[in-house]
Structure 1
Amino acid sequence: MAQTPRPTHPLSIDEAWAFTADHASSTTFFFDFDGVLSPVTDDPDASQPVSAVPGVLERLAESVQRVAIVSARPVSFLRSRFASLERVDLYGLYGLEVWHEGQVVTEPAAEPWVPAMAELAERARAELPSSILIEYKRLSVALHYRTAPGEASTVERWGHEQAERLGLRIQAGRMVVELKPPVDQDKGMVITEGVRNAGCAWYFGDDMSDIKAFDALRAREAVDPAFFGVAVAVANPETGAEVSSAADLTLESPDEVASFLSRGLERF
């Protein structure tokens, strides 16, 4: 029986699932965590995947070649939320950490920056308003102003000053400014490597850093006529319009992500 030909963009949901079902053995699904598998919360430590997500990811991992979560969160956090998922790979801190064969593997070029990140977190707590939530992630520091949106300019200015002082990189996100080591690693690079031997890949994202992952799918399609990539945006009032405009499909919430995957799995 002939396989479904590669769809063209823009595409329909039916076309995307039909191709994926025909190429399941060479398909990878990539997911961001916050805003995609979990609602965004005022307190990052309180975030949990929506109840249907672990089960549907496990079913998906049994049906396709690979499932991976690619997040700004540390691997330790992702493990605490998905410890029961044996078949799902975890990329933390934009790929600076990887859960591999039962342990966390850290990008060697980032390791020397751990003390600087700890010192930066302490400085942030001392110098920024108490309404700013400081999230220390070992290899990065995130400055959340979700509960104090009026402090956005203060946080952004302070973050850029520290980045210049220490030679760090800045990653802007949904009401957050994150400072990272000057190491070449982002979600786009994770996807570029992750799809090298794939015939089909999906990426689900909701924030500006996820656009690089969408771009990686497009780049792979440009050099491999047999490869098919699907970029899925999860709508939100903060970055949703820009992310959705870069995607093939848009879903409305993490709950809809779980439902969408469940419906798609019926085709396998």
Structure 2
Amino acid sequence: MDFTSVEGEQRYAALVRAAADTVVGLDFDGVLSPIVDDPAAAHIHPDAGEVLVELAGQVRAIAVITGRPARQALDLGGLEEVGQAVGDAGKELYVFGQYGNERWSSTNRRVISPRPPAGLATFLREVPRVLRRADAADAFVEEKGLAVAVHTRRLDDPDAVFQRLLPLFRDLAAQHDLVIEPGRNVIEVRSHGMHKGLAVNTIVEEVGAGGFLFAGDDLGDLEAFDAVTALGHGGMPTLLVASASEEENALVEHADVVVKGPDGVLDLLRQLTEDARDLRA
């Protein structure tokens, strides 16, 4: 792992000392799972389950905070089995899906979800027209129940198509009182009122966290970064981790630590587990 500053190293050391009271928050795509062309094929890193179970023994709780539906993250990540093992260790695994609108925990093993936002169904019916207008009829449209995501990754020039679509979908979303969440070759449209930063604050309050680590990979994680930064300004030990790649480094300038993709994230979590265990010994 690469610290971005001396202060980043100091924050890591403080977090190790506060590990027993710390919540570790993790995005799914790009953090626990490699980014792939087909979102349905984004399976969790094969080592992640073991790493998370070992980590759980040293921290207060672990929370996967993702834009994916919670059920999808659970299935692709095998997280129900991981949650069972974490629970057996007397700790808690949370999954906050769709930016915190859905939630699951290893204690309450069912997904709690609100109704879809008003205007989403009408928005969805208008998506094909917008795609044709932007010469992007082959973009992959993912219906997520509480949101719609339009992926350009499979197209010949994904970045150019993304740039053409973004203002069009921003205008259409505004007409239906929805918000845009741009990501890595994906534009997500969802309701107001919930984002990853609120999910961070929710779990901090619920478990009485005394520290927080969050690892993300793209612009959809900025609100979580902002929430964790605010916690740090309030005196809580915190650490911000950017999972960077050749095609996405939007969070690097905001991070305390930069790692290379899911492999780097898991190496960091192994190190945190080892350092916290050694400190307790």
Measured after TM superposition, the shift of residue 199 of structure 1 is: 1.3
What's the CA shift string for 1:93-128, capped at 9, x where partnerless?
A: 000101141211124xxx1527x4345435424652
Match of 1:230 among 200, 219, 239: 239
**1:245 is the counterpart of 2:240:** no
Measured after TM superposition, the shift of residue 221 of structure 1 is: 2.2
TM-score (normalised: structure 2):
0.82
Who is 1:4 aligned against?
A: none
Higher mean Cα deviation, 154-163 or 121-130? 121-130
Tell me, in whole angstroms, the C-alpha distance in 1 between the residues paired with 2:173 and 2:34: 29
Measured after TM superposition, the shift of residue 136 of structure 1 is: 0.7
Match of 1:40 among 20, 35, 40: 35
Match of 1:113 among 99, 109, 117: 117
Describe how 1:45-64 pairs up with structure 2 within 5 A. Answer: 45-64=40-59
Tell me, in whole angstroms, the C-alpha distance in 1 between the residues paired with 2:43 and 2:11: 28
Measured after TM superposition, the shift of residue 198 of structure 1 is: 1.4
The 3 A distance-change label for structure 1 pair 46 and 118 is farther
Who is 1:31 aligned against?
A: 26
Kept in 1, the 8 Å contact 2:116–2:146? The answer is no
How many equivalent pairs are there?
251
Match of 2:217 among 206, 231, 253: 206
Tell me, in whole angstroms, the C-alpha distance in 2 between the residues paired with 1:243 and 1:133: 25
Kept in 2, the 8 Å contact 1:39–1:49? The answer is yes
Describe how 1:46-125 pairs up with structure 2 within 5 A. Answer: 46-80=41-75, 81=77, 82-86=79-83, 87=86, 88-100=93-105, 101-107=108-114, 111-113=115-117, 116-125=119-128
Higher mean Cα deviation, 16-25 or 207-216? 16-25
Tell me, in whole angstroms, the C-alpha distance in 2 between the residues paired with 1:112 and 1:67: 27
Counterpart residue type for residue 142 of structure 2: E
Tell me, in whole angstroms, the C-alpha distance in 1 between the residues paired with 2:7 and 2:29: 26
RMSD: 2.0
Counterpart residue type for residue 157 of structure 1: P
Q: SS at the partner of 1:11?
A: helix
Match of 1:181 among 191, 194, 197: 191
Who is 1:260 aligned against?
A: 268
Who is 2:169 aligned against?
A: 159
Kept in 2, the 8 Å contact 1:34–1:40? The answer is yes
Tell me, in whole angstroms, the C-alpha distance in 2 between the residues paired with 1:245 and 1:237: 15
Higher mean Cα deviation, 185-194 or 16-25? 16-25
5+ residue gaps, structure 1, are 1-7
Q: SS at the partner of 1:48?
A: coil
Tell me, in whole angstroms, the C-alpha distance in 1 between the residues paired with 2:104 and 2:33: 20
Q: SS at the partner of 1:234?
A: strand
Who is 2:8 aligned against?
A: 11
TM-score (normalised: structure 1):
0.86
Measured after TM superposition, the shift of residue 50 of structure 1 is: 1.1
Measured after TM superposition, the shift of residue 141 of structure 1 is: 0.3
Q: SS at the partner of 1:106?
A: coil
Q: SS at the partner of 2:62?
A: strand
5+ residue gaps, structure 2, are 87-92
Measured after TM superposition, the shift of residue 194 of structure 1 is: 2.3
Tell me, in whole angstroms, the C-alpha distance in 1 between the residues paired with 2:175 and 2:209: 41
Q: SS at the partner of 2:212?
A: strand
